[in-house]
Copies of this chain bind each other. A is one copy, B any other.
């Protein structure tokens, strides 16, 4: 952390600041120039409140030069994290292929899709029971009943299941869910993140629509600070000025995250663009960039899906895509990190 001081400051105030910082075991290096004085803070500055520093009378500006996250930081944990989800590994060379419908609609549907995506090559099954919808008048999901349907679909297919939680009060229904998803709009629902930190279960943390990579990693840090280190990050598109697609899938996040963190990173091209025909090219692109997996919407009857049908693949299109992904995988980028 670097603190730029104002000109002609009061010596007493400066000493008070130095003493306060030294209480945190931070070493201070002063660089005095004609017009500027810079304080270099050396040590664990993650404990220093940057806003507080900026508010001081004698301080002109403060710049953080180290990341404020530790548990999620590759610098302190160089080896790739591998998360085990009901026997399926993700990260460090193991590739996740999660597929299924946006919403759980019925038991028959889920059983059928589970069989379809398994034979198409999926190794996990997704399905939304609690649905975040921007309109209070839209279908809000089958809720706890939907979770039960997912468990039956797991029983018939053998695929571990993934579903989204929206509120801590729903966690009681997720005890037997293999991978608990946090949606984009809840990425900074800090009370929910704290509760997930108390669990010892894999969490799939989606990126917020307008959040930076650092904010995202700070949300992973919330979960990890509670002791739950099984976090998978999921890029699912960010908000940009483009209106031709629902969101803009940020594939460049994959290599950047690989250098910042040791956590696995998967990509959701279905939500990322919201248009079925764009899912295959972007799935291949994410694979080539070095992603640790994909999550893809598949529906056995896309035009009648209850939500997000426009972005679902048919089981046939999914199986074809899996073949294409497997062709690319051996040539995908491998980071040295």
> Assuming A38-B29, A68-B135, A167-B192, is B245 touching A248 (CB within 8 A)?
no
User: Is A185's CB within 8 Å of the partner chain B?
Assistant: yes
- Per-residue CB contact flags for chain A residues 23-48 toward chain B (1 = under 8 Å, else 0) read 00001011111111010101100110
Complex formed: what's the CA distance from A324 to B333 in Å?
A: 8
> Assuming A134-B218, A168-B167, A222-B136, is B278 touching A252 (CB within 8 A)?
yes
For chain A, what secondary structure do more than half of its interface residues adopt (helix, strand, loop), or is it mixed?
Answer: mixed
- Asked if B137 and A166 sit within 8 Å, CB to CB, the answer is no
User: Is A156's CB within 8 Å of the partner chain B?
Assistant: no
Q: Whole-angstrom distance from the CB of A64 to the nearest CB of chain B?
A: 9
A33: contacting residue among B43, B256, B335, CB under 8 A: B43
A251: contacting residue among B46, B49, B251, B256, CB under 8 A: B251
Q: Whole-angstrom distance from the CB of A299 to the nearest CB of chain B?
A: 9
Segment at the B interface, from A77-85, A146-154, A283-291:
A283-291
User: Is A132's CB within 8 Å of the partner chain B?
Assistant: yes
Number of interface residues of A (CB under 8 A): 114
- Asked if B282 and A251 sit within 8 Å, CB to CB, the answer is yes
User: Is A277's CB within 8 Å of the partner chain B?
Assistant: yes
> Assuming A136-B222, A185-B188, is B66 touching A65 (CB within 8 A)?
no
- Give chain A interface residues in 45-89, CB to chain B under 8 Å: 46-47, 49, 51-52, 54-57, 61, 63, 65-66, 68
- Give chain A interface residues in 118-167, CB to chain B under 8 Å: 132-139, 166-167
In the bound complex, residues from chain B placing their C-beta under 8 Å from that of A112 are: none
> Assuming A4-B65, A65-B4, A169-B168, is B242 touching A212 (CB within 8 A)?
yes
- Asked if A249 and B252 sit within 8 Å, CB to CB, the answer is yes
In the bound complex, residues from chain B placing their C-beta under 8 Å from that of A221 are: 135-136
Segment at the B interface, from A90-98, A173-181, A198-206, A302-310:
A302-310
Complex formed: what's the CA distance from A105 to B214 in Å?
A: 28
A302: contacting residue among B55, B139, B331, B335, CB under 8 A: B55
Q: Whole-angstrom distance from the CB of A167 to the nearest CB of chain B?
A: 4
Name the residue on B nearest A193 (C-beta). Answer: B136
User: Is A191's CB within 8 Å of the partner chain B?
Assistant: yes
Complex formed: what's the CA distance from A292 to B213 in Å?
A: 29
- Asked if A239 and B210 sit within 8 Å, CB to CB, the answer is yes
User: Is A21's CB within 8 Å of the partner chain B?
Assistant: no
Q: Whole-angstrom distance from the CB of A187 to the nearest CB of chain B?
A: 9
Complex formed: what's the CA distance from A244 to B213 in Å?
A: 8
- Give chain A interface residues in 251-277, CB to chain B under 8 Å: 251-256, 259-260, 272-273, 277
Complex formed: what's the CA distance from A88 to B23 in Å?
A: 46
Question: Footprint of B on A, CB under 8 Å?
Answer: 2, 4, 27, 29-36, 38, 40, 42-43, 46-47, 49, 51-52, 54-57, 61, 63, 65-66, 68, 132-139, 166-170, 185-186, 188-194, 197, 209-215, 218, 221-222, 225-226, 238-245, 248-256, 259-260, 272-273, 277-278, 280-282, 284-290, 302-310, 312, 324, 327-328, 331-333, 335
- 13 cross-chain CB contacts under 8 A: A29-B31, A31-B31, A31-B42, A35-B42, A54-B310, A55-B310, A136-B221, A167-B189, A245-B256, A249-B251, A251-B282, A251-B285, A282-B289
